[in-house]
Amino acid sequence: MKSISELTDFYYKTLYPVLKELEKEREAVKKRVIKLGISYLLIAAFTGLLILRQSNRQIDMFLFFCFAAFTLGAILYKYLVKGYKSTFKEKIIAPLIKELDENLEYLPQQHVNETYFTRSRLFTSRPDRVSGNDYIHGKIDGVPIQLSDFHAEKRHQDSKNNTSWTTMFQGLFIVSEFNKNFKGQTVVLPDRAQSTFGDLVGNWLQSNNFSRNELVKMDNPEFEKEFVVYSTDQVEARYILTHMLMQKLLHYKKESKHPLYASFVGGNIYLAIAYNKDLFEASVFHSLLKYKIAMEYLKTLHLAVGVVKELNLNKKLWSKI
């Protein structure tokens, strides 16, 4: 696997001609979006005013129109930038992934199968709708890994039969093989109770969480502050979470700068990083030549695929030889 600086070199050297071409396309699309956007806004505003006048200021009608106009605008915008976005994935993200490690395959339209998400036990309820994209899978140092953007949602229905959707999780979802044998289930979650309610009440709340297995108190104060661990087996949880792995998970969390969920179920390690946005998407309003924008793509990609090396999943020291 390539390092982040090698990847940056590749981005600015090999991909430079493509980037320049793409930059031209971006400028053109941006102009078109702004032009069409302004005309659309003017037409919509005019029609809106007309409706307001014609319908004797019926606010319902006007609100409905606003909603329809907004939806249509969003669809129109999506349609306009679609070409640019897919060219970006095909010409920039795909070669970057190949450069990172040639054993990786990239499928921009697909995502990690929902069964993995449910099997991970990271969330206690099943999602009602899942979506995602940017599926990457393959082997790194012989360790199978798959990851993608993942969005899991829950449906809610109120008494008036109105349905609404809330996000359970949105971000990167990574599945890989763990380097030790184990039988039970161990789940590592961001510690919300202890940081909100303090040690005493937080600890009590955590030990009385009936939707989870037994609470496991870890002997690393920093880790214990950031995470809460539940497991079916007190000893096995510590067999998996050695002092070294705890430190590495802490480091990984710091690198990603977002809430990290991890679980160890059925021989696999599942990692979920809640970025709360769709990753690896190009915006027509930001230039790809800018260092900051480029580094964000490179870093996220490197962090996601680098999990095998970062957590030493390729070192099968124990019984898994």
Partner 1 sequence: MSTPLIIIIVLVIIIILMYNSLVAKKNQVDNIFASVDTQLKKRYDLIPNLVASVSKYMEHEKSILNEVTKLRAEANKPNISNEHKMALDSKMSAALGSIMVAVENYPELKANENVLHLQHSLNEVEAQIAAARRAYNQAVTDYNNALEQIPTNILANIMHYQPKKVFEIDESERKNVNVKELFNT
Q: Which residues bind partner 1 (CB under 8 A)?
A: 180, 216-217, 219, 234-239, 242-244, 315, 317-319, 321
Measured CA to CA in angstroms, residue 304 lies from 200, 279, 300, 312 at distances of: 35, 11, 6, 14
Nearest residue (CB) to partner 1, 233 versus 278: 233
Residue 9 to residue 15: CA distance in whole angstroms: 9
Residue carrying the six token digits 């979920």: 272
CA atoms of 240 and 38, how far apart (whole Å): 57
CB of 312 to partner 1, least distance (A): 9
CB 250, min distance to partner 1, A: 14
If the CB atoms of residues 17 and 221 are measured against partner 1, the closer one turns out to be 221
Q: Please say which residue, 121 or 180, places its beta carbon nearer to partner 1.
A: 180
| Alpha carbons 122 and 71: distance in angstroms, whole number | 34
The CA dihedral of 199, 201, 203, 204, to the nearest 10 degrees, is: 160
Min dist CB 251 to partner 1, Å, is 13
Looking at 61-142, which runs of residues are DSSP E strands? 104-107, 129-140
Q: Tell which residue, 130, 170, 252, 225, has the closest CA to residue 260.
A: 252
Residue 223 CB, shortest distance to partner 1, in Å, is 13
Q: Which is nearer to partner 1, 233 or 281 (CB)?
A: 233
Closer by beta carbon to partner 1, 118 or else 232: 232
Nearest to 168 by CA among 208, 122, 135: 122
> Among 265, 262, 251, which Cα is nearest to 310's?
251
Question: Which amino acid is it at 156?
Answer: H
Give the residue with the Cβ less far from partner 1, 147 or 241: 241
Least Å distance, CB 219 to partner 1, is 6
Which two three-digit tokens encode residue 281? 């998407």
We find the least distance from the C-beta atom of residue 224 to partner 1, in angstroms, to be 11
Minimum CB distance to partner 1, residue 218 (Å) = 8
Q: How far apart are CA 132 and CA 209, in angstroms?
A: 30
Q: CA–CA distance from 150 to each of 63, 118, 162, 234 (Å)?
A: 33, 12, 25, 31
Alpha-carbon span 197 to 139, nearest angstrom: 42
Q: How far is the CB of 134 from partner 1 (least distance, A)?
A: 33
Instruction: Give least dist CB 193 to partner 1, A.
Output: 18
Give the residue with the Cβ less far from partner 1, 182 or 297: 182
* Encoded amino acid at 171, one letter: G
Question: Smaller CB distance to partner 1: residue 40 or 239?
Answer: 239
Backbone dihedral angles phi then psi of residue 314, each to the nearest 5 degrees: -85, -5
Q: Which is nearer to partner 1, 16 or 204 (CB)?
A: 204
